[in-house]
């Protein structure tokens, strides 16, 4: 006879982790909404610059002042397996799903790790959300042509592309002015 196992939702197996995630996310990003259906997750718009260094000049002109609109989806094996973050605005174009330079997976979720082993189950989901906020900025730098590939470390930890923000904003402004004339 085959044993039948009942699936246990991750939050029933890890109630302390659910409590921790909710506290940490709401402390860092109070405007996000917890989604309690399916495997649970978060939805909302991230702040444009949630980093511990000065915001580069031109960032609001470049992005229209909008951070990433996203949906984070936990999986059944969370926290052993990292959650997926899907960018909704800006949403990746189909061509971006097939080129690694955009850091988007084929399913439309953000590629936030070099390997799956880079995820530490003890890590805070807040760090993933900060990486996603940085992805939004690097995506815009890439679409304006001032960046050829997204950085490996991500803008959240590496200020190496901060100086490109004003240049990209100027390019975008020039393109808009040229289109209007």
What backbone phi and psi angles, to 5 degrees, belong to 65? 75, 10
User: What pTM does this model have?
Assistant: 0.91
- Whether the Cβ atoms of residue 85 and residue 132 lie closer than 8 Å to each other: yes
What's the pLDDT tens digit per position in 141-180?
999 999 999 988 888 888 889 999 988 888 887 877 777 6
DSSP 65: T
Phi/psi of residue 137, each to 5°? Answer: -70, -45
CATH (residue range 10-180): 3.10.110.10
pLDDT at residue 68 in the model: 98
Per-domain residue ranges of the chain: 10-180
Reply yes or no: is the peptide bond before residue 90 cis, omega within 30 of 0.
Answer: yes
């Amino acid at each position: 006879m085959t044993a039948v196992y009942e699936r246990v939702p991750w939050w029933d197996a890890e109630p302390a982790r659910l409590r921790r995630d909710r506290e940490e996310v709401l402390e860092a990003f109070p405007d996000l909404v917890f989604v309690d259906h399916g495997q649970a997750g978060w939805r909302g718009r991230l702040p444009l610059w949630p980093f511990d260094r000065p915001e580069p000049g031109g960032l609001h002109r470049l992005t229209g002042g909008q951070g990433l609109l996203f949906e984070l989806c936990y999986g059944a094996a969370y926290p052993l397996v990292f959650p997926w973050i899907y960018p909704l605005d800006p949403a990746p174009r189909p061509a971006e799903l097939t080129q690694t330079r955009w850091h988007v997976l084929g399913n439309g979720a953000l590629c936030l790790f070099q390997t799956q082993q880079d995820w530490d189950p003890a890590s805070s989901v807040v760090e993933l959300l900060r990486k996603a906020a940085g992805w939004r900025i690097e995506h815009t730098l890439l679409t304006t042509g001032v960046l050829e590939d997204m950085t490996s470390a991500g803008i959240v930890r590496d200020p190496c592309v901060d100086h490109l923000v004003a240049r990209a904003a100027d390019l975008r402004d020039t393109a808009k002015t040229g289109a209007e004339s």
